[in-house]
A = this chain, B = another copy of it.
Amino acid sequence: MVEHAQEALFRPVRAGNAFEETVERLMQSIRLGVVAPGERLPSERELATRLGVSRVTVREAIRSLQENHYVESRRGRYGGTFVNEVLPKSAPAKDFGDVHDVLTLRRVLETGAAETAAGRSLGPAERRGLRARLEEASTSTLAEYRRKDSRLHLAIAEATGSAALTAAVAESRMRANELLDHIPLLEPNLAHSNAQHERIIASILDGDPVAARQAMAEHLDGTASLLRGFLV
C-alpha cells in the first residue's frame, strides 16, 4: 500500500458541517469581492438551491454574517441581504501551519490558469472583462486592494473556460488571503503589483502563454516571499 497518498485520499470527507461551509462560502464571495459592498446577495431561496443546502441553513449562515456586521437584510419585495459598505477587519489569526501547502498549490493553479487563458482565443466580452478588472485593481485604494486583486485573478481563472479550475483558484485564494491579511500592505508593493498585473494581462491578451506564466509566477513569488518573511 502506498503510504503517503493515503493522507490525501483518507482526509476528512467534509471540511465542516453544512452551516460552517455555508458561512465560509458567503464570506469568500464577500472577501474576494465577488459581491461588492452595497450589492445584494442572491435570495435565500436561490442560495439554498445553488449551495445544495436547506434554506434554514442558509438563514443561519446569514444571521452569523449579520452578527459580525458583514451584511444587513431587508424584508419585502426588492429587499434582500446586502453587503455592508464598511466591512469588519479580518478574523484574528488562524493556523499558519501549512503556509508551504497553500503557496505551492496557489502557484501551480494560478500560473497554470494564466498560461491556459493565454492559450485560448478569448471573445470580446472576456477581453473587456479582463481589462475592466485590471483597471479596477490599478485604481483601487489600499483598503479595497485585496478584493479588487482577487477579482482580477478570478477573472483570469474564468478566462480558462474551466469552472473546476475557477473554483480551485477561488478556494486557494481564500486560503492565501487568510495569510496575507496578517501582513502589512504598502504603497510600493501595490505599485509593483499593478505593474505586474499589466504584464500578465497584456501577455494573456496577446496570446503568449509562456510570457503569461512567467509574469504570473513572478507576481506570486513576490507576495510569497513577503509572506514567508513575515510569518517565520
Q: Which residues of A contact B (CB under 8 A)?
A: 1-2, 4-14, 18, 21-22, 25, 28-29, 32-36, 39-40, 42, 47, 50-53, 98, 100-102, 104-105, 107-109, 111-113, 115-116, 151, 154-155, 157-158, 160-170
Give the docked Cα–Cα distance between A36 and B161 (Å).
36
**Residues of the B chain whose Cβ atoms lie less than 8 Å from the Cβ of A50:** 10-12
Interface of A is mostly: helix
**Interface CB pairs A-B, < 8 A, 9:** A1-B34, A1-B39, A4-B166, A6-B42, A8-B166, A8-B170, A10-B25, A102-B164, A109-B109
Q: Are A34 and B9 in contact (CB under 8 A)?
A: yes
**Residues of the B chain whose Cβ atoms lie less than 8 Å from the Cβ of A13:** 18, 21-22, 25, 51-53
Given contacts A36-B1, A107-B112, A154-B5, contact A11 B167 (CB under 8 A): yes
What is the count of identical protomers in the complex?
2
**Residues of the B chain whose Cβ atoms lie less than 8 Å from the Cβ of A170:** 5, 8-9
**Residues of the B chain whose Cβ atoms lie less than 8 Å from the Cβ of A100:** 161-162
- Specify the chain B residue showing the minimal Cβ separation from A217: B115
Given contacts A1-B35, A2-B155, contact A42 B10 (CB under 8 A): yes
Q: Are A14 and B18 in contact (CB under 8 A)?
A: yes
**Residues of the B chain whose Cβ atoms lie less than 8 Å from the Cβ of A107:** 112, 116
Given A2-B151, A5-B32, 11 new contacts (CB under 8 A): A1-B35, A2-B154, A2-B155, A6-B29, A9-B25, A9-B32, A11-B163, A12-B51, A12-B52, A12-B53, A108-B109
